[in-house]
Structure 1
Amino acid sequence: MKPVLGALTLALFGSLGGCGYLTGEDGYFRDRGSDYQGVVIEPRITVPEGIESKPLGDLLPVPGQVTAKAGNEEFELPRPQPMIVSADAAEFSLQQNGSVRWVQAQRSAAEAWPLVRQFWADYQIPVASETPELGQLQTGWVAFDLQADNPLLRRILPAIGQGRQVEGQEHRFRMRVEPGVQGGSSELYVTHMSRSQGGTRTEWPENSDNANLERAVLAELETYLNQSRGGASITSLMAAQAGPRATLARDGAGNPVLTLQSDFNRAWASVGQALSQADIRIADLNRSAGVYYIDLAQAASAQEKPGFFGRLFGRDEEQEDTAQRTEVRLTAVGGNVQVTVDESINEAADPRVATDVLERIEANLN
């Protein structure tokens, strides 16, 4: 009985294959690889006047010319060109087109949203309102003169520009996370708005009140996202034994910043030891404020303590150091610690001096 059923089955499939019922041109499992050749290219969509839109490129461009093969030879569908992906390419990058700036993220809008939200939380900037389903977020009002100890405000302060008023002004930022042109990507936009403290202005401007502040915040956001994308706040036991990992980069104002992937306690001890090994004199320190006061005019090894008569009749050492002190400031941001070099809490040090100090600290970190 079984041989008879097998023969009938082979005969049935053979007859179906012969008439092309399954795999022929009109079959259920026909080859659709050349269907695109019969597609009609429709004209581009025109957006009515008065409606905002952004230009969209061709997501699936059709080849301009396809050479037909002679005779009845079957057309071979060309394979797509491989994408060139660099292992060192940044997942987040600052882009600009004319006066429009944004951070390009190689992540979907849903994946980028919590990272953006964490950026403002780590920098202790209050969020006044947020609409995750629309990808929009508005910060509360902040004042540079009243919140000078905030690390983000301190670093973007130079972007305000010389001659612009700081006292009596307050600022806020609006962030938008939009889907990118390419699938799986998104674009992050920032708008800046300012007013006098206690003012009644509430309507957002079409463009940022200060384009330099907008760019500085975007640059800070780009650096933050690239440093935290790999779970920089998580350190293993091996990393803890080898010392904190350090990355030297620049903030939105162009000032150097050394980021340590460590908790504050370990970073404080490591930076203090690195300063000593780099032969940089520590004139004073304030751990609660996270500041080492250093004297770049005198090496630590050349420091000589005054004798009895020198201490009795000489000038107070505290007074001598005050005019020459430079601040090495440690600020906890999320799971990392950022090290900057300042002349004061409101003034960054010369970029060349700051870079030299931070490079010496980085070279001597254990």
Structure 2
Amino acid sequence: MRHLSSKSSLATILLAMTTSLLMSACSTTFSGDTIDYKSAGEKKGPNLAFPPDMTVVNGDKRYVVPDGGATLSGFTAVAATAKPEGKETVLPVVQGMRIEREGDRRWLVVSKPAKGVYPSVREFWQESGFLLLTDSPETGIMETDWAENRAKIPQDFIRRTLGKVLDSLYSTGERDKFRTRLETNAKGETEIYITHRGAVEQLTGNDKSQTIWTARANDPELEAEFLARLMQRLGYTETAARASIGSKAPSAPKVSYLKKELTPRLEFPANFDRAWREIGVGLDRSNFMVDDRDRTQGIYFVRFLNPKDLSGDRGFWEKMFSSKSDEDMKRAKRYRVIVKESSGTIVVTVQDDKGTPEVGEVAIQLLTLLDQQLGK
């Protein structure tokens, strides 16, 4: 975790300290919340929350959190003041909303149509400090930009003294983005899935003078945290939401379901509903973009960017977040991930965009990524 940017000069620091001492109003502290995201889309000071070598995708500017607009901490404070008096002994009844869980995967089920829930979920991410880069009510998919959890920055003496004067020069060296998918189940209810992807900045070179961005493991507990906060946004109290989410699941030994002989495939025992959920979450947590899906046919229509198709000699994540990523993303190919059930056994295969089975290296690569997510 880093503190001051290497680009800041001593003169800048001294000038800022002088300004801070003369203007005590510039000092600031956080409220102690464990989550305080600052989106790359916000325009409050220099845009240093986004890594210099990451590409800021041009999203719909309607979803930029406005200055002085609602924040998650502000919403939580208002919700706390509205909490009914008296000690909570049982979970309050919020009609038509519950958490379901398998292993470390949790999702929210709401007995309303997706089109009625979608606007509230969109507002939730706005209030949480994110800019939506993907916002598709038609497919029920939204994805945030890369953002930094500012609450992870330690409150040392210099930062407490300087406050907002040099706040933008502090960085955690970590970025997060979240994908939300709204799915209609067999009962007509709306299932809401939140999945996390992370990146971390690491020092490289013999003298450790350069940095590159690499993948960080998915964080199921961070996904659960945002699910709990979404439940509050939809009507639960904080206590009830956290009780519904529950504690961290114990880790289980990882089992591989990948079969490479003949037609590459994933093969495991499960019913279709469970398999559809697991494959959907696996796609969201991996380097796939789900364009559409057909649950009745068991098909996910996805785009996948093969690292071998990227230009240049740079590392995979550096390529993904560089200024050339737009050009590279045009090379992302379309595939179909097929989920079929037969006598209690699930078989997952890959087809190209025209429906022809993929049986070579690409199929194994895509299925391996999904296999790494199953059973987590």
Shared fold per TM-score greater than 0.5: no
Higher normalized contact order (CA 8 Å, seq sep 6+, divided by chain length): 2
With structure 1 as the length reference, what TM-score do the two structures score?
Answer: 0.31
* TM, length-normalised to structure 2: 0.30
